[in-house]
């Protein structure tokens, strides 16, 4: 009997077997989309067009006035680009939580329960929409242009804040998808309600929070912390005033908002999973 001379061979094998099913599913989804080139091209084109139209709407609005809520066109490009990039990446990874109501109604979700893998991880890796890369590209271009046209005091702090905002913003939007999925165990046909804070939150995140009324500040500023995905990090990066009463460094609190969003999302998800009794219940 021979044994491996490498003591880490066992853990690597175990680790590899744990993730192999997910890689296989995602790989098959990617290959299936890439094999239908015409359809894939149309999907990419339509997604790209939607992103460009939304960016054009922002540009038209902010070129009509000198500034809105203390933000000019250059500053809002940063907000839009950062929010749109983070949302698009989160949508590509966790956006399949939108399919949960269909999975519940058709009984497909019950199949996930038969597999020895976490339910949420199975749902996330059940599909991948590469067309969302086009939307991410629009956000990335807007962000790069915004960084180029704004006067930013570049240094380690500014770079760290920007990277922190991208990671935290993506995590926050991802949590919103998971929270919406958890609520669907109770609502089933309530996608319109959850879309109000998922997609409505995404729209709010691309706008300057300084124009929000007090109810919106409470809802999208702190309860669903959309303001921390782009608006508040940009105010800190550019040295602009944030919400009244908040310090200038508040943009650095984006990770705290992401943690809060995930705590709420996991609570909603765990409660929903425990409530679920199967497609017949």
Rg, the chain, Cα only: 21
> CA-CA distance, 234 to 217, in Å (whole number)?
17
Q: For the packed helices 37-63 and 73-94, what is the interaxial angle rounded to 10 degrees?
A: 150
pLDDT digit string, tens, across residues 77-128: 999 999 999 999 998 888 878 778 888 777 778 887 777 777 888 787 777 6
> CA-CA distance, 169 to 167, in Å (whole number)?
6
Question: Given phi > 0 = left and psi -120 to 50 = alpha, else beta, which region is 239?
Answer: left
pLDDT for the residue numbered 227: 94
Return the structure tokens found at 62. Answer: 């902010």
Under 8 Å between Cβ of 165 and 233: yes
> CA-CA distance, 243 to 241, in Å (whole number)?
7
Return the structure tokens found at 195. Answer: 């879309």
Closest CA to 225 of 192, 257, 267: 257
The 10 Å Cβ neighbour count of residue 256 is 13
pLDDT tens-digit profile, the chain (281 residues): 444 444 444 444 444 556 666 566 566 666 666 666 676 677 678 778 888 998 999 899 888 888 888 899 999 999 999 999 999 999 888 887 877 888 877 777 888 777 777 788 878 777 767 677 888 899 999 999 999 999 998 999 999 999 999 999 999 999 999 998 888 888 766 677 777 888 888 999 998 988 888 888 888 888 999 999 999 999 999 999 888 778 889 999 999 999 999 999 999 999 988 877 765 55
pLDDT for the residue numbered 22: 59
End-to-end CA distance of the chain: 53
> CA-CA distance, 198 to 245, in Å (whole number)?
27
CB neighbour class for 133 (10 Å; exposed up to 12, middle 13-18, buried from 19): middle
Angle among Cα 62, 244, 217 to the nearest 5 degrees reads 70
Under 8 Å between Cβ of 55 and 134: no
Under 8 Å between Cβ of 174 and 224: no
Q: What is the pTM of this model?
A: 0.83
Return the structure tokens found at 119. Answer: 């339910």
């Amino acid at each position: 009997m021979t044994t491996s001379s490498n003591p880490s061979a066992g853990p690597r094998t175990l680790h590899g077997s744990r993730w192999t099913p997910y890689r296989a599913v995602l790989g098959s989804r990617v290959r299936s989309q890439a094999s239908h080139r015409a359809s894939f091209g149309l999907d990419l084109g339509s997604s790209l067009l939607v992103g460009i139209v939304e960016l054009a709407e922002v540009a038209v609005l902010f070129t009509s006035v000198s500034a809105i809520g203390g933000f000019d066109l250059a500053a809002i490009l940063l907000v839009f680009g950062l929010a749109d990039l983070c949302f698009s990446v989160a949508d590509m990874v966790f956006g399949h939580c939108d399919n949960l109501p269909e999975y519940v109604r058709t009984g497909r979700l019950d199949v996930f329960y038969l597999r020895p893998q976490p339910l949420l991880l199975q749902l996330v890796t059940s599909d991948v929409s590469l067309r969302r890369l086009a939307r991410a590209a629009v956000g990335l271009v807007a962000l790069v242009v915004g960084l180029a046209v704004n006067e930013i005091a570049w240094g380690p702090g500014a770079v760290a804040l920007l990277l922190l905002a991208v990671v935290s913003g993506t995590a926050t939007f991802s949590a919103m998808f998971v929270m919406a999925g958890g609520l669907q165990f109770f609502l089933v046909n309530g996608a319109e309600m959850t879309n109000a804070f998922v997609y409505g939150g995404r729209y709010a995140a691309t706008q300057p929070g300084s124009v929000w009324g007090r109810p919106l500040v409470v809802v999208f500023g702190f309860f669903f912390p959309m303001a921390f995905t782009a608006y508040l990090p940009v105010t800190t990066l550019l040295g602009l005033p944030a919400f009244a009463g908040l310090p200038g460094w508040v943009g650095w609190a984006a990770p705290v908002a992401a943690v809060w969003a995930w705590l709420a999302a996991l609570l909603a998800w765990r409660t929903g999973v425990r409530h679920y009794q199967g497609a017949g219940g």
